[in-house]
Amino acid sequence: MNKTKQDIRKDQILDAALSVLVQKGYERSRMDDVVQESQLSKGAIYWYYKSKKEMYLDLINFWVLRYSVTLNHIVEEDAPPSQQLKDLFKYFIDQNESDPQPFVALTEFWSMAQKDPDFRKKLQKVYTHFLELIEEIIYRGVHSGEFKKVNGRITALSIMVNIESINWFTLFEAHGVSVTEYMETITDFILAGLLKKHEEKIT
């Protein structure tokens, strides 16, 4: 797991790429911006990536990999599904608070996905995997009797969408509602819809 020189360079490039992407978006981001931000040269960057597009596609890999470690950990931990969901929400709230850049970048990738099939396919894969994770939690909850018998796929979709709504706060004025406050309310809201009521549990 120790990084080679090449991995370090790629990190260096992708760090710069993310920063530029968030500031300017895909189209307006210049390879020369990445050159400057990364303190490397154009030649160096094109040594590691054959095109602007390849570089940004790899940026998705980079972040998926980074997040998936914790995500898998949450799913595999030995906790009641309701707690797992809470952890999931909390993880994204914390991540967004400590560094919203990847979230902002996601908006840009959405926009890219609309135009470019390669970006679409890549994002599709990311989402499919993420949805499967959530669905897994839901299934366990339903199976163990903690959750109502809901449609796992639709519920997972809904949860995912609500997590993504974190982004709304990065961009717009919410008139006095904080992200944390909002997300906590949403978490309760979703869990209220999922958890069996006490009477039902007994029967």
Taking Cα atoms as reference points, which of 161, 129, 157 lies closest to residue 61?
129
Residue 47: contacted member of DNA, a second copy, none (CB under 5 to 8 Å, by partner type): DNA
Structural tokens at position 106: 């996601």
Q: Is 46 in the site for DNA (CB under 7 A)?
A: yes
Structural tokens at position 122: 């890549």
Q: Is 200 in the site for a second copy (CB under 8 A)?
A: no
Scanning 23-31, 95-103, 127-135, 174-182 for contacts with DNA by CB under 7 A, the matching segment is 23-31
Which CB atom, from 32 or from 77, has the smaller least distance to DNA?
Answer: 32
CB-CB contact of 130 with 56 (8 Å): no
Which residues within the stretch 52-81 sit at the binding site for a second copy (CB under 8 A)?
none
Structural tokens at position 200: 């039902």
CB-CB contact of 22 with 106 (8 Å): no
Residue 151: contacted member of a second copy, DNA, none (CB under 5 to 8 Å, by partner type): a second copy
Taking the C-alpha atoms of residue 17 and residue 93, their distance in angstroms, rounded to an integer, is: 23
Structural tokens at position 81: 């599904």
CB-CB contact of 82 with 141 (8 Å): yes
Q: Is 176 in the site for a second copy (CB under 8 A)?
A: yes
Q: Is 5 in the site for DNA (CB under 7 A)?
A: yes
CB-CB contact of 152 with 139 (8 Å): yes
Taking the C-alpha atoms of residue 112 and residue 102, their distance in angstroms, rounded to an integer, is: 15
Q: Is 19 in the site for DNA (CB under 7 A)?
A: no
Residue 53: contacted member of DNA, a second copy, none (CB under 5 to 8 Å, by partner type): DNA
Q: Is 155 in the site for DNA (CB under 7 A)?
A: no
Structural tokens at position 193: 């819809």
Q: Is 19 in the site for a second copy (CB under 8 A)?
A: no
Residue 41: contacted member of DNA, a second copy, none (CB under 5 to 8 Å, by partner type): DNA
Residues interacting with a second copy, by CB under 8 A?
22-28, 104, 107-108, 110-111, 113-115, 120, 123-124, 127-128, 131, 151, 153-154, 157-158, 161-162, 165, 168, 171-177, 181-182, 185-186, 189, 192-193
